[in-house]
Amino acid sequence: MSSGKKSSGDGRSLKVRVKTAKKRSVSSARWLERQLNDPYVAKAKREGYRSRAAYKLLELEQRFHLLKPGMAVIDLGAAPGGWTQVAVKRTRADAADGVRGKVVALDILPMDPVPGAQVLHLDFLADDAPAAIREALGGGADVVLSDMAPPASGQRETDHLRIMALVEAAAAFAAEVLKPGGAFVAKVWQGGTEAGLLAQLKRDYASVKHAKPPASRPESAEVYVVATGFRRGAK
């Protein structure tokens, strides 16, 4: 592996290149090289976010204005916590006084505590999950966030089907816990939301849009569906 970023002589940084080694595969070398050269990774470290994914939510928030002080927010598949950190700041869930929001973050993976959020080690697909989360929030949610994605199989069609199954489950969960007027944000694959789910979202929400925030890598197939204005009991 090359050590550090080289200088071009005129003050600019040149791209770090990572060589494969006996214990490093080509794919892991590419991942490491991408991380070393990713400005969002460096920015996350500087600004104290747990992952570069935080900037995806910040950019979606800048466009759609989803999070406000005092809101109740659920972050599905929250680990390692970058989206949770953003939700806490925007809702003032960590504030000492004044208007304070509530943030519940859950994942089946262990996750370090986030000041201002309640972290649950929980599968949102469990039958008792909606009730447990309502209890943690003290009521319904204003926003349900999901940056979940299944492990990549390398097969585009398979990966698309897997992530859509997750999105459908997250959308059904959101319909159980959202307050009227609430919002649902979830990662989908390029090509957008499947017709059946998109039709359901359009029945359940006043507005449904797709967006690819700048922090999403250009080569990534991910986009986000942003549904706002939840209509409980819509047909």
Instruction: Enumerate the domain spans of the chain.
Output: 1-37, 51-230
pLDDT band at 235 (very low <50, low <70, confident <90, very high): very low
User: What's the CATH fold of domain 51-230?
Assistant: Rossmann fold (3.40.50)
The CA dihedral of 49, 52, 53, 54, to the nearest 10 degrees, is 30
Kindly state the DSSP code that residue 235 receives in the 8-state scheme: -
Q: Is 163 helix (H, G, I), strand (E, B) or coil?
A: helix
Comparing CA positions, the residue from 230, 63, 80, 218 lying closest to residue 148 is 80
- Segment 157-164 shows an average pLDDT of 76
What pLDDT sits at residue 5? 45
- List 209's β-bridge partners, or say none: 226
The share of the chain scoring above pLDDT 90, in percent, equals 54
- Position of tokens 């097969």? 155
Please check whether residue 143 is in contact with residue 183, taking contact to mean a CB–CB distance below 8 angstroms. yes
Comparing CA positions, the residue from 52, 121, 119, 117 lying closest to residue 88 is 117
The better pLDDT of the pair 193, 71 is held by: 71
| Rounded Cα–Cα distance for residues 227 and 207 (Å) | 6
Residue 67 has pLDDT above 60, yes or no: yes
Q: Is 129 helix (H, G, I), strand (E, B) or coil?
A: helix
Q: Which one of the listed residues 6, 22, 89, 187 is annotated catalytic? A: 187
The share of the chain scoring above pLDDT 70, in percent, equals 78
| Rounded Cα–Cα distance for residues 168 and 162 (Å) | 10
- Provide the 10 A C-beta neighbour count for residue 19: 9
Residue 7 has pLDDT above 50, yes or no: no
Q: Is 187 a residue of the active site? A: yes
pLDDT digits (tens, 9 = 90+) for 124-153: 888 888 888 989 999 999 999 999 877 666
Please check whether residue 86 is in contact with residue 54, taking contact to mean a CB–CB distance below 8 angstroms. yes
pLDDT band at 157 (very low <50, low <70, confident <90, very high): confident
Q: Which of 83-92, 112-121, 213-222 has the weakest average pLDDT? A: 213-222
Q: What is the pTM of this model?
A: 0.81
pLDDT band at 113 (very low <50, low <70, confident <90, very high): very high
What pLDDT sits at residue 22? 52
